[in-house]
A and B are shown apart, each in its own frame.
Chain A
Amino acid sequence: MTATRQPFTATRRRVLGLAMLATGVMAVSARGATPAPPRIVVLGGGAGGAVAARTAKRLGGEAVSVTLVEAAPSYVTCFFSNWVIAGLRAMEDITHGYAGLAADGIAVVHGRAEAIDRDARAIRLATGETIPYDRLILAPGIALRHEAVPGYSEAAALTMPHAWKAGPQTTLLRSRLEALGPTASIVMLVPPNPYRCPPGPYERAALMAHRLKATGRAGARLTILDAKETFSKQALFQEGWERHTPGMVQWLPPSVHGGILSVDPATNSVETGLDVFSGDLITVIPPQQAAPIAVDAGLADPDGWCPVVPAAMRSPMDSFVHVIGDAAKAGEMPKSAFAAASQGRVAAVAVLADLLGWPRPEPRYFNTCWSLIAPDDGVKVGALYGEKAGGIATVKGFVSQPGEPAAERRRAVDEAENWYAAITAEMFG
Protein backbone atom coordinates (compact mmCIF):
# COMPACT_ATOMS: atom_id res chain seq x y z
CA MET A 1 0.00 0.00 0.00
CA THR A 2 1.60 3.23 -1.11
CA ALA A 3 -0.33 5.23 1.46
CA THR A 4 1.81 3.75 4.24
CA ARG A 5 4.67 6.07 3.36
CA GLN A 6 2.96 9.22 4.45
CA PRO A 7 2.16 8.40 8.07
CA PHE A 8 5.51 6.71 8.46
CA THR A 9 7.33 9.86 7.39
CA ALA A 10 5.15 11.93 9.66
CA THR A 11 5.87 9.57 12.53
CA ARG A 12 9.60 9.71 11.90
CA ARG A 13 9.52 13.49 11.92
CA ARG A 14 7.51 13.57 15.12
CA VAL A 15 9.92 11.12 16.69
CA LEU A 16 12.70 13.52 15.88
CA GLY A 17 10.81 16.36 17.54
CA LEU A 18 10.04 14.24 20.58
CA ALA A 19 13.62 13.08 20.83
CA MET A 20 14.95 16.63 20.73
CA LEU A 21 12.49 17.78 23.29
CA ALA A 22 13.20 14.76 25.47
CA THR A 23 16.93 15.46 25.34
CA GLY A 24 16.23 18.98 26.52
CA VAL A 25 14.05 17.76 29.34
CA MET A 26 16.61 15.23 30.50
CA ALA A 27 19.57 17.58 30.22
CA VAL A 28 17.88 20.17 32.34
CA SER A 29 16.41 17.79 34.87
CA ALA A 30 19.95 16.57 35.53
CA ARG A 31 20.62 20.08 36.77
CA GLY A 32 17.41 19.99 38.76
CA ALA A 33 15.71 22.87 36.94
CA THR A 34 12.70 22.91 34.65
CA PRO A 35 13.16 24.58 31.27
CA ALA A 36 10.79 27.46 30.67
CA PRO A 37 8.29 26.24 28.10
CA PRO A 38 7.74 28.38 24.99
CA ARG A 39 5.20 31.14 25.54
CA ILE A 40 2.04 31.34 23.48
CA VAL A 41 0.10 34.54 24.07
CA VAL A 42 -3.44 34.93 22.75
CA LEU A 43 -4.81 38.47 22.53
CA GLY A 44 -8.62 38.58 22.60
CA GLY A 45 -10.87 36.09 24.36
CA GLY A 46 -13.68 35.88 21.81
CA ALA A 47 -14.71 33.03 19.55
CA GLY A 48 -11.30 32.86 17.88
CA GLY A 49 -9.02 33.60 20.83
CA ALA A 50 -10.73 31.48 23.47
CA VAL A 51 -10.75 28.43 21.17
CA ALA A 52 -7.12 29.03 20.14
CA ALA A 53 -6.00 29.29 23.77
CA ARG A 54 -7.88 26.19 24.90
CA THR A 55 -6.76 24.15 21.89
CA ALA A 56 -3.12 25.14 22.45
CA LYS A 57 -3.29 24.22 26.13
CA ARG A 58 -5.21 21.00 25.65
CA LEU A 59 -2.91 19.66 22.94
CA GLY A 60 0.29 21.29 24.16
CA GLY A 61 -0.08 20.51 27.84
CA GLU A 62 2.93 21.36 30.01
CA ALA A 63 5.17 21.73 26.96
CA VAL A 64 3.88 25.26 26.40
CA SER A 65 2.68 28.15 28.50
CA VAL A 66 -0.51 29.79 27.30
CA THR A 67 -1.61 33.28 28.32
CA LEU A 68 -4.89 34.88 27.29
CA VAL A 69 -5.18 38.67 27.39
CA GLU A 70 -8.77 39.91 27.37
CA ALA A 71 -10.04 43.39 28.20
CA ALA A 72 -13.48 42.39 29.47
CA PRO A 73 -14.20 40.37 32.63
CA SER A 74 -16.90 38.39 30.80
CA TYR A 75 -17.90 37.78 27.19
CA VAL A 76 -21.31 38.43 25.69
CA THR A 77 -21.73 36.44 22.49
CA CYS A 78 -22.88 38.38 19.44
CA PHE A 79 -24.08 35.00 18.22
CA PHE A 80 -27.61 34.48 19.54
CA SER A 81 -27.83 38.20 20.47
CA ASN A 82 -30.53 38.54 17.80
CA TRP A 83 -32.45 35.92 19.79
CA VAL A 84 -32.13 38.19 22.83
CA ILE A 85 -33.34 41.24 20.91
CA ALA A 86 -36.43 39.24 19.91
CA GLY A 87 -37.03 38.01 23.48
CA LEU A 88 -36.16 34.37 22.73
CA ARG A 89 -33.15 34.37 25.11
CA ALA A 90 -32.02 36.47 28.08
CA MET A 91 -28.75 38.39 28.36
CA GLU A 92 -27.59 35.93 31.08
CA ASP A 93 -27.91 33.11 28.55
CA ILE A 94 -25.33 34.71 26.26
CA THR A 95 -22.89 35.95 28.94
CA HIS A 96 -19.89 33.76 29.81
CA GLY A 97 -16.97 33.96 32.25
CA TYR A 98 -13.35 32.85 31.85
CA ALA A 99 -12.99 30.64 34.94
CA GLY A 100 -12.85 27.49 32.79
CA LEU A 101 -9.76 28.70 30.98
CA ALA A 102 -7.92 29.42 34.20
CA ALA A 103 -8.88 25.93 35.41
CA ASP A 104 -7.26 24.50 32.26
CA GLY A 105 -3.94 26.06 33.23
CA ILE A 106 -4.23 29.08 30.94
CA ALA A 107 -3.00 32.32 32.51
CA VAL A 108 -5.94 34.67 32.00
CA VAL A 109 -4.95 38.33 32.19
CA HIS A 110 -7.84 40.77 32.23
CA GLY A 111 -6.56 44.03 30.84
CA ARG A 112 -6.58 46.12 27.72
CA ALA A 113 -3.58 45.66 25.47
CA GLU A 114 -2.38 49.05 24.34
CA ALA A 115 0.32 48.07 21.88
CA ILE A 116 2.23 45.16 20.41
CA ASP A 117 5.99 45.67 20.41
CA ARG A 118 6.83 43.38 17.52
CA ASP A 119 10.58 43.94 17.80
CA ALA A 120 10.65 43.00 21.48
CA ARG A 121 7.91 40.36 20.94
CA ALA A 122 5.83 41.64 23.83
CA ILE A 123 2.39 43.06 24.46
CA ARG A 124 2.08 46.23 26.50
CA LEU A 125 -1.00 46.55 28.66
CA ALA A 126 -2.74 49.78 29.63
CA THR A 127 -1.38 49.20 33.14
CA GLY A 128 2.17 49.41 31.78
CA GLU A 129 2.78 45.69 32.34
CA THR A 130 4.41 43.84 29.45
CA ILE A 131 3.74 40.27 28.42
CA PRO A 132 6.45 38.66 26.27
CA TYR A 133 5.61 36.00 23.70
CA ASP A 134 7.33 33.46 21.51
CA ARG A 135 4.21 33.30 19.33
CA LEU A 136 1.26 35.69 19.40
CA ILE A 137 -2.21 34.65 18.28
CA LEU A 138 -4.09 37.87 17.66
CA ALA A 139 -7.90 37.66 17.82
CA PRO A 140 -9.16 41.15 18.69
CA GLY A 141 -12.27 41.22 16.50
CA ILE A 142 -13.52 44.37 14.83
CA ALA A 143 -13.68 48.13 15.22
CA LEU A 144 -16.90 49.85 14.22
CA ARG A 145 -16.17 52.75 11.89
CA HIS A 146 -18.91 55.04 13.16
CA GLU A 147 -17.48 58.02 11.28
CA ALA A 148 -17.86 56.21 7.95
CA VAL A 149 -21.56 57.09 8.12
CA PRO A 150 -21.70 60.92 8.19
CA GLY A 151 -23.66 62.08 11.23
CA TYR A 152 -23.10 58.79 13.10
CA SER A 153 -20.79 58.54 16.13
CA GLU A 154 -20.35 56.59 19.34
CA ALA A 155 -22.64 59.14 21.01
CA ALA A 156 -25.22 58.81 18.21
CA ALA A 157 -25.23 55.04 18.83
CA LEU A 158 -27.11 55.76 22.07
CA THR A 159 -29.97 57.11 19.94
CA MET A 160 -29.44 54.93 16.88
CA PRO A 161 -28.16 51.65 18.32
CA HIS A 162 -25.98 49.30 16.26
CA ALA A 163 -26.00 46.32 18.64
CA TRP A 164 -23.14 44.91 16.53
CA LYS A 165 -20.99 44.39 19.61
CA ALA A 166 -23.07 42.49 22.12
CA GLY A 167 -23.62 43.98 25.57
CA PRO A 168 -25.35 47.22 26.57
CA GLN A 169 -26.11 47.92 22.89
CA THR A 170 -28.05 44.65 22.69
CA THR A 171 -30.10 45.60 25.73
CA LEU A 172 -30.68 49.08 24.29
CA LEU A 173 -31.96 47.81 20.94
CA ARG A 174 -34.16 45.27 22.70
CA SER A 175 -35.77 47.91 24.95
CA ARG A 176 -36.21 50.32 22.03
CA LEU A 177 -37.97 47.55 20.08
CA GLU A 178 -40.22 46.77 23.04
CA ALA A 179 -41.22 50.44 23.35
CA LEU A 180 -42.42 50.79 19.75
CA GLY A 181 -46.10 51.36 18.97
CA PRO A 182 -48.36 49.17 16.78
CA THR A 183 -47.63 51.03 13.53
CA ALA A 184 -44.05 52.06 14.23
CA SER A 185 -41.51 52.47 11.48
CA ILE A 186 -37.98 51.13 11.81
CA VAL A 187 -35.07 51.84 9.52
CA MET A 188 -32.00 49.58 9.51
CA LEU A 189 -28.73 50.53 7.80
CA VAL A 190 -26.60 47.63 6.61
CA PRO A 191 -22.91 48.12 5.66
CA PRO A 192 -20.94 47.05 2.60
CA ASN A 193 -18.88 43.84 2.59
CA PRO A 194 -16.85 42.67 4.38
CA TYR A 195 -18.39 42.86 7.82
CA ARG A 196 -19.05 40.68 10.88
CA CYS A 197 -21.76 38.05 10.29
CA PRO A 198 -23.00 38.53 6.71
CA PRO A 199 -26.52 37.10 7.34
CA GLY A 200 -26.83 38.80 10.75
CA PRO A 201 -28.75 41.94 9.72
CA TYR A 202 -31.34 39.93 7.80
CA GLU A 203 -31.85 37.47 10.64
CA ARG A 204 -32.24 40.46 12.94
CA ALA A 205 -34.88 41.98 10.63
CA ALA A 206 -36.79 38.67 10.59
CA LEU A 207 -36.70 38.33 14.37
CA MET A 208 -37.60 41.97 15.05
CA ALA A 209 -40.60 41.61 12.71
CA HIS A 210 -41.51 38.36 14.44
CA ARG A 211 -41.41 40.04 17.84
CA LEU A 212 -43.54 42.96 16.65
CA LYS A 213 -46.12 40.65 15.09
CA ALA A 214 -46.23 38.34 18.10
CA THR A 215 -46.96 41.32 20.36
CA GLY A 216 -49.85 42.75 18.34
CA ARG A 217 -47.81 45.15 16.24
CA ALA A 218 -48.13 43.63 12.76
CA GLY A 219 -48.77 47.14 11.49
CA ALA A 220 -45.15 48.09 12.11
CA ARG A 221 -42.77 48.39 9.15
CA LEU A 222 -39.03 47.70 8.95
CA THR A 223 -37.11 49.16 6.02
CA ILE A 224 -33.59 47.91 5.35
CA LEU A 225 -31.36 50.41 3.56
CA ASP A 226 -28.55 48.23 2.30
CA ALA A 227 -25.17 49.32 0.98
CA LYS A 228 -25.18 46.19 -1.22
CA GLU A 229 -27.17 45.02 -4.24
CA THR A 230 -27.32 41.41 -3.01
CA PHE A 231 -26.86 39.65 0.34
CA SER A 232 -26.27 36.33 2.07
CA LYS A 233 -29.07 33.72 1.79
CA GLN A 234 -31.17 36.44 0.05
CA ALA A 235 -33.82 34.19 -1.50
CA LEU A 236 -34.31 32.37 1.81
CA PHE A 237 -34.72 35.57 3.82
CA GLN A 238 -36.99 37.31 1.33
CA GLU A 239 -39.21 34.25 1.09
CA GLY A 240 -39.20 33.90 4.89
CA TRP A 241 -40.04 37.54 5.64
CA GLU A 242 -43.09 37.31 3.36
CA ARG A 243 -44.22 33.99 4.75
CA HIS A 244 -43.95 34.82 8.46
CA THR A 245 -44.48 38.59 8.58
CA PRO A 246 -46.13 39.57 5.27
CA GLY A 247 -45.51 43.17 4.24
CA MET A 248 -43.54 44.04 7.35
CA VAL A 249 -39.97 43.91 6.03
CA GLN A 250 -38.90 45.89 2.99
CA TRP A 251 -35.37 45.61 1.62
CA LEU A 252 -33.93 48.41 -0.53
CA PRO A 253 -30.56 48.18 -2.33
CA PRO A 254 -28.57 51.28 -3.38
CA SER A 255 -30.01 51.11 -6.90
CA VAL A 256 -33.39 51.92 -5.30
CA HIS A 257 -32.50 54.32 -2.43
CA GLY A 258 -29.66 56.05 -4.24
CA GLY A 259 -26.96 55.35 -1.67
CA ILE A 260 -26.72 56.24 2.02
CA LEU A 261 -25.49 59.83 2.47
CA SER A 262 -25.90 60.64 6.17
CA VAL A 263 -27.90 60.08 9.35
CA ASP A 264 -29.28 62.69 11.74
CA PRO A 265 -29.84 61.52 15.33
CA ALA A 266 -31.60 64.83 16.18
CA THR A 267 -34.41 64.23 13.68
CA ASN A 268 -34.11 60.41 13.61
CA SER A 269 -33.68 60.39 9.86
CA VAL A 270 -31.48 59.02 7.11
CA GLU A 271 -30.70 60.87 3.93
CA THR A 272 -30.06 58.80 0.82
CA GLY A 273 -29.30 59.80 -2.75
CA LEU A 274 -32.98 59.68 -3.69
CA ASP A 275 -34.98 60.18 -0.48
CA VAL A 276 -35.11 60.96 3.23
CA PHE A 277 -36.23 58.14 5.53
CA SER A 278 -37.36 58.89 9.06
CA GLY A 279 -38.38 56.36 11.67
CA ASP A 280 -39.40 55.76 15.27
CA LEU A 281 -36.30 53.60 15.58
CA ILE A 282 -33.20 53.84 13.43
CA THR A 283 -30.54 51.20 13.82
CA VAL A 284 -27.20 51.72 12.10
CA ILE A 285 -24.77 48.87 11.51
CA PRO A 286 -21.67 50.83 10.51
CA PRO A 287 -18.83 49.69 8.24
CA GLN A 288 -16.03 47.85 10.04
CA GLN A 289 -12.35 47.05 10.08
CA ALA A 290 -9.90 45.05 12.19
CA ALA A 291 -9.65 46.18 15.84
CA PRO A 292 -7.19 49.07 16.47
CA ILE A 293 -4.58 46.94 18.27
CA ALA A 294 -3.98 45.01 15.01
CA VAL A 295 -4.03 48.06 12.75
CA ASP A 296 -1.72 50.06 15.04
CA ALA A 297 0.77 47.18 15.08
CA GLY A 298 1.08 47.46 11.31
CA LEU A 299 -0.53 44.08 10.70
CA ALA A 300 -3.37 45.34 8.49
CA ASP A 301 -3.55 46.21 4.80
CA PRO A 302 -4.69 49.70 3.74
CA ASP A 303 -8.27 48.31 3.63
CA GLY A 304 -8.15 47.91 7.43
CA TRP A 305 -8.11 44.09 7.56
CA CYS A 306 -5.20 41.75 8.36
CA PRO A 307 -3.87 39.52 5.58
CA VAL A 308 -2.86 35.95 6.49
CA VAL A 309 -0.92 33.05 5.01
CA PRO A 310 -3.62 30.40 4.43
CA ALA A 311 -1.69 27.38 5.70
CA ALA A 312 -1.54 28.63 9.29
CA MET A 313 -3.33 32.03 9.57
CA ARG A 314 0.13 33.52 10.01
CA SER A 315 0.70 37.20 9.26
CA PRO A 316 2.79 37.77 6.12
CA MET A 317 4.08 40.87 7.93
CA ASP A 318 5.38 39.03 11.01
CA SER A 319 6.09 35.32 11.24
CA PHE A 320 5.74 35.38 15.04
CA VAL A 321 2.13 36.54 14.80
CA HIS A 322 -0.99 34.68 13.67
CA VAL A 323 -4.18 36.67 13.10
CA ILE A 324 -7.54 34.89 13.36
CA GLY A 325 -11.24 35.67 13.42
CA ASP A 326 -13.04 38.76 12.22
CA ALA A 327 -9.82 40.84 12.09
CA ALA A 328 -8.31 38.53 9.45
CA LYS A 329 -8.85 38.38 5.71
CA ALA A 330 -9.52 34.67 5.45
CA GLY A 331 -10.32 34.46 1.74
CA GLU A 332 -13.81 33.12 1.12
CA MET A 333 -14.55 32.43 4.79
CA PRO A 334 -17.15 34.79 6.27
CA LYS A 335 -16.58 36.68 9.50
CA SER A 336 -18.41 34.34 11.86
CA ALA A 337 -17.81 32.84 15.28
CA PHE A 338 -17.76 29.38 13.70
CA ALA A 339 -15.07 30.50 11.26
CA ALA A 340 -13.09 32.27 14.01
CA ALA A 341 -13.10 29.08 16.11
CA SER A 342 -12.04 27.01 13.10
CA GLN A 343 -9.17 29.41 12.45
CA GLY A 344 -8.31 29.38 16.15
CA ARG A 345 -7.73 25.62 16.03
CA VAL A 346 -5.59 25.95 12.91
CA ALA A 347 -3.44 28.69 14.45
CA ALA A 348 -3.06 26.83 17.76
CA VAL A 349 -1.96 23.63 16.07
CA ALA A 350 0.39 25.50 13.71
CA VAL A 351 2.01 27.31 16.64
CA LEU A 352 2.43 24.06 18.61
CA ALA A 353 3.94 22.33 15.59
CA ASP A 354 6.29 25.23 15.06
CA LEU A 355 7.42 25.56 18.69
CA LEU A 356 7.67 21.85 19.49
CA GLY A 357 8.99 20.56 16.19
CA TRP A 358 5.91 18.50 15.39
CA PRO A 359 4.62 18.02 11.85
CA ARG A 360 1.93 20.58 11.09
CA PRO A 361 -1.42 19.09 10.09
CA GLU A 362 -3.10 20.40 6.96
CA PRO A 363 -5.82 22.87 7.97
CA ARG A 364 -9.47 21.96 7.49
CA TYR A 365 -11.25 25.28 7.67
CA PHE A 366 -14.98 24.96 8.16
CA ASN A 367 -17.96 27.21 8.67
CA THR A 368 -21.69 26.95 9.13
CA CYS A 369 -23.89 30.00 9.72
CA TRP A 370 -27.36 29.16 10.95
CA SER A 371 -29.96 31.93 10.83
CA LEU A 372 -33.45 32.09 12.22
CA ILE A 373 -36.17 33.31 9.90
CA ALA A 374 -38.67 32.66 12.67
CA PRO A 375 -38.30 30.88 16.03
CA ASP A 376 -39.11 27.52 14.39
CA ASP A 377 -37.70 28.21 10.94
CA GLY A 378 -33.94 27.95 10.57
CA VAL A 379 -31.68 28.00 7.53
CA LYS A 380 -27.97 27.48 7.10
CA VAL A 381 -25.07 28.08 4.76
CA GLY A 382 -21.58 26.69 5.11
CA ALA A 383 -18.54 25.04 3.60
CA LEU A 384 -15.29 23.20 4.00
CA TYR A 385 -12.44 25.46 2.87
CA GLY A 386 -8.91 24.71 1.83
CA GLU A 387 -5.81 26.40 0.55
CA LYS A 388 -6.19 27.21 -3.14
CA ALA A 389 -3.99 29.45 -5.28
CA GLY A 390 -2.51 31.16 -2.24
CA GLY A 391 -5.89 31.88 -0.66
CA ILE A 392 -8.58 30.16 1.41
CA ALA A 393 -11.32 28.93 -0.91
CA THR A 394 -14.40 26.73 -0.81
CA VAL A 395 -13.80 23.01 -1.27
CA LYS A 396 -17.36 21.80 -0.66
CA GLY A 397 -20.28 24.03 0.28
CA PHE A 398 -23.94 23.72 1.17
CA VAL A 399 -26.93 26.01 1.60
CA SER A 400 -30.60 25.59 2.59
CA GLN A 401 -33.12 25.84 -0.22
CA PRO A 402 -36.35 27.83 -0.48
CA GLY A 403 -39.45 25.69 0.05
CA GLU A 404 -37.91 23.06 2.33
CA PRO A 405 -40.30 21.06 4.56
CA ALA A 406 -41.10 22.59 7.96
CA ALA A 407 -39.48 19.67 9.79
CA GLU A 408 -36.17 20.34 8.10
CA ARG A 409 -36.36 24.02 9.03
CA ARG A 410 -37.21 23.08 12.63
CA ARG A 411 -34.22 20.75 12.67
CA ALA A 412 -31.94 23.60 11.61
CA VAL A 413 -33.09 25.52 14.70
CA ASP A 414 -32.13 22.50 16.83
CA GLU A 415 -28.77 22.40 15.08
CA ALA A 416 -28.21 26.08 15.83
CA GLU A 417 -28.94 25.49 19.51
CA ASN A 418 -26.61 22.48 19.59
CA TRP A 419 -23.92 24.52 17.88
CA TYR A 420 -24.27 27.31 20.44
CA ALA A 421 -23.80 24.81 23.25
CA ALA A 422 -20.79 23.33 21.46
CA ILE A 423 -18.94 26.54 20.67
CA THR A 424 -19.47 28.04 24.10
CA ALA A 425 -18.28 24.76 25.67
CA GLU A 426 -15.23 24.83 23.43
CA MET A 427 -14.54 28.48 24.32
CA PHE A 428 -15.22 28.41 28.04
CA GLY A 429 -15.15 24.76 29.14
Chain B
Amino acid sequence: MTGQPAKRGVAAVLGAALLTMPAAAADDLRIAYLAATCAGCHAPRADAPADPAADSPMPALAGRPADDTLAALKAYRDGQRPSAVMAAAVAGLDDATLAALARHLEATSPPNRPNASGQPGAAP
Protein backbone atom coordinates (compact mmCIF):
# COMPACT_ATOMS: atom_id res chain seq x y z
CA MET B 1 0.00 0.00 0.00
CA THR B 2 1.28 3.41 -0.95
CA GLY B 3 0.35 4.98 2.37
CA GLN B 4 2.68 2.63 4.25
CA PRO B 5 6.01 4.51 4.12
CA ALA B 6 4.28 7.75 5.06
CA LYS B 7 2.77 6.02 8.08
CA ARG B 8 6.10 4.68 9.28
CA GLY B 9 7.56 8.16 8.91
CA VAL B 10 4.86 9.61 11.08
CA ALA B 11 5.34 6.91 13.67
CA ALA B 12 8.99 7.83 13.95
CA VAL B 13 8.26 11.53 14.27
CA LEU B 14 5.57 11.15 16.90
CA GLY B 15 7.64 8.62 18.78
CA ALA B 16 6.49 7.96 22.32
CA ALA B 17 3.20 9.77 21.87
CA LEU B 18 2.11 6.99 19.54
CA LEU B 19 2.29 4.48 22.35
CA THR B 20 -0.78 6.08 23.83
CA MET B 21 -2.57 5.96 20.49
CA PRO B 22 -5.62 3.73 20.20
CA ALA B 23 -5.34 0.53 18.21
CA ALA B 24 -7.10 1.81 15.11
CA ALA B 25 -4.88 4.82 14.59
CA ALA B 26 -1.83 2.63 14.09
CA ASP B 27 -3.68 0.94 11.23
CA ASP B 28 -6.25 2.52 8.99
CA LEU B 29 -9.61 3.15 10.67
CA ARG B 30 -11.26 2.28 7.39
CA ILE B 31 -9.68 -1.17 7.27
CA ALA B 32 -10.28 -1.75 10.96
CA TYR B 33 -13.93 -0.82 10.36
CA LEU B 34 -14.21 -3.19 7.40
CA ALA B 35 -12.69 -5.99 9.47
CA ALA B 36 -15.24 -5.26 12.20
CA THR B 37 -18.02 -5.75 9.67
CA CYS B 38 -16.71 -9.30 9.02
CA ALA B 39 -17.30 -10.07 12.68
CA GLY B 40 -21.02 -9.63 12.08
CA CYS B 41 -21.04 -13.24 10.81
CA HIS B 42 -17.57 -14.68 11.38
CA ALA B 43 -17.34 -15.43 15.08
CA PRO B 44 -13.88 -15.32 16.59
CA ARG B 45 -13.31 -18.75 18.09
CA ALA B 46 -10.77 -19.29 20.78
CA ASP B 47 -11.26 -23.05 20.71
CA ALA B 48 -10.78 -23.71 17.01
CA PRO B 49 -7.83 -22.52 14.97
CA ALA B 50 -8.64 -20.71 11.77
CA ASP B 51 -8.86 -23.75 9.55
CA PRO B 52 -9.82 -22.93 5.98
CA ALA B 53 -10.83 -26.55 5.48
CA ALA B 54 -13.14 -26.61 8.49
CA ASP B 55 -16.67 -27.27 7.37
CA SER B 56 -18.19 -24.06 8.65
CA PRO B 57 -20.23 -21.74 6.49
CA MET B 58 -18.61 -18.82 8.31
CA PRO B 59 -15.09 -19.82 9.31
CA ALA B 60 -13.09 -17.82 11.86
CA LEU B 61 -10.95 -15.27 10.01
CA ALA B 62 -8.47 -14.04 12.60
CA GLY B 63 -4.95 -15.25 11.90
CA ARG B 64 -5.76 -16.75 8.52
CA PRO B 65 -2.97 -16.33 5.96
CA ALA B 66 -3.64 -13.11 4.07
CA ASP B 67 -3.07 -14.75 0.68
CA ASP B 68 -5.85 -17.27 1.31
CA THR B 69 -8.27 -14.64 2.52
CA LEU B 70 -7.47 -12.30 -0.35
CA ALA B 71 -7.96 -15.04 -2.95
CA ALA B 72 -11.31 -15.96 -1.42
CA LEU B 73 -12.50 -12.37 -1.20
CA LYS B 74 -11.61 -11.68 -4.82
CA ALA B 75 -13.27 -14.89 -5.97
CA TYR B 76 -16.48 -13.94 -4.15
CA ARG B 77 -16.44 -10.44 -5.54
CA ASP B 78 -15.78 -11.59 -9.10
CA GLY B 79 -18.37 -14.35 -9.02
CA GLN B 80 -15.86 -17.20 -9.32
CA ARG B 81 -16.88 -18.58 -5.97
CA PRO B 82 -20.64 -18.65 -5.54
CA SER B 83 -22.10 -17.07 -2.43
CA ALA B 84 -24.86 -14.48 -2.70
CA VAL B 85 -24.09 -13.24 0.81
CA MET B 86 -20.34 -12.85 0.29
CA ALA B 87 -20.83 -11.33 -3.18
CA ALA B 88 -22.90 -8.58 -1.58
CA ALA B 89 -20.53 -8.27 1.39
CA VAL B 90 -17.50 -7.47 -0.78
CA ALA B 91 -19.30 -5.69 -3.65
CA GLY B 92 -17.49 -2.59 -4.81
CA LEU B 93 -14.30 -3.10 -2.78
CA ASP B 94 -11.14 -2.69 -4.87
CA ASP B 95 -8.12 -5.00 -4.86
CA ALA B 96 -6.03 -2.73 -2.63
CA THR B 97 -8.77 -2.57 -0.02
CA LEU B 98 -9.28 -6.32 -0.04
CA ALA B 99 -5.53 -6.88 0.29
CA ALA B 100 -5.31 -4.50 3.24
CA LEU B 101 -8.32 -6.18 4.83
CA ALA B 102 -6.78 -9.64 4.37
CA ARG B 103 -3.53 -8.45 5.97
CA HIS B 104 -5.43 -6.89 8.84
CA LEU B 105 -7.29 -10.13 9.50
CA GLU B 106 -4.06 -12.14 9.38
CA ALA B 107 -2.51 -9.83 11.96
CA THR B 108 -5.51 -10.26 14.25
CA SER B 109 -5.20 -13.11 16.67
CA PRO B 110 -8.10 -15.22 17.90
CA PRO B 111 -9.19 -14.34 21.43
CA ASN B 112 -6.99 -15.58 24.27
CA ARG B 113 -4.11 -16.39 21.99
CA PRO B 114 -1.13 -14.11 21.58
CA ASN B 115 -0.52 -12.52 18.18
CA ALA B 116 2.88 -11.92 16.62
CA SER B 117 3.71 -9.15 19.10
CA GLY B 118 2.77 -11.32 22.05
CA GLN B 119 -0.29 -9.19 22.83
CA PRO B 120 -3.78 -10.65 23.10
CA GLY B 121 -5.56 -9.94 19.84
CA ALA B 122 -8.73 -8.03 19.23
CA ALA B 123 -11.62 -9.68 17.46
CA PRO B 124 -11.51 -9.09 13.71
CB distance from A420 to the nearest CB of B (A): 9
Output the residue of B1, B22, B123 with the most chain A CB within 10 A.
B22
**Binary interface encoding of chain A residues 393-407 relative to chain B, with 1 for a CB under 8 A from any of its CBs, else 0:** 001111000000000
Establish whether residues B41 and A361, one from each chain, have CB atoms under 8 Å apart when the complex forms.
no
On whether A384 and B89 interact (CB within 8 A), knowing A415-B57, A425-B44, the answer reads yes
How many A-B pairs have beta carbons closer than 8 Å: the answer is 150
A55 at the interface (CB under 8 A from B): yes
Tell whether A361 pairs with B87 under 8 Å between CB atoms, given A22-B14, A345-B36, A426-B39. no
Report whether over half of chain A's contact residues are helix, strand or loop; otherwise say mixed. Answer: helix
Contact with B along A1-37 (1 / 0, CB 8 A): 0011001101110110111011001100000000000
Interface residue count on the A side (C-beta < 8 Å) = 57
Q: Considering the complex, give the chain B residue whose CB is closest to the CB of A341.
A: B40
- Interface size of B as a range: 35 or more
In the complex the two chains form, is B57's CB within 8 Å of A366's CB? Answer: no
Task: Please report whether the interface of chain B is mostly helix, strand, loop or mixed according to DSSP.
Answer: helix
Q: Which of A383, A384, A397 is packed against the most chain B CB atoms within 10 Å?
A: A384
| Contact mask for chain B residues 46-64; partner A; CB cutoff 8 A; 1 contact, 0 none | 0000000000111000000
> Would you call A59 and B36 a contact (CB within 8 A)?
yes
CB–CB A425/B43 < 8 A: yes
How long is the Cα–Cα vector from A382 to B84 in the complex, in angstroms?
Answer: 9
Does the CB pair B21–A10 fall under 8 Å?
no
Q: Is B91 in the interface zone, CB < 8 Å from A?
A: yes
B92 at the interface (CB under 8 A from A): yes
Please choose the segment from A76-84, A125-133, A146-154, A351-359 that sits at the chain B interface, where 4 or more of its residues have CB less than 8 A away: A351-359
Interface residues of A (CB under 8 A from B): 3-4, 7-8, 10-12, 14-15, 17-19, 21-22, 25-26, 55, 58-64, 338, 341-342, 345, 349, 352-353, 356, 358-359, 361-362, 364, 366, 368, 380, 382-384, 395-398, 411, 414-415, 418-419, 421-423, 425-426
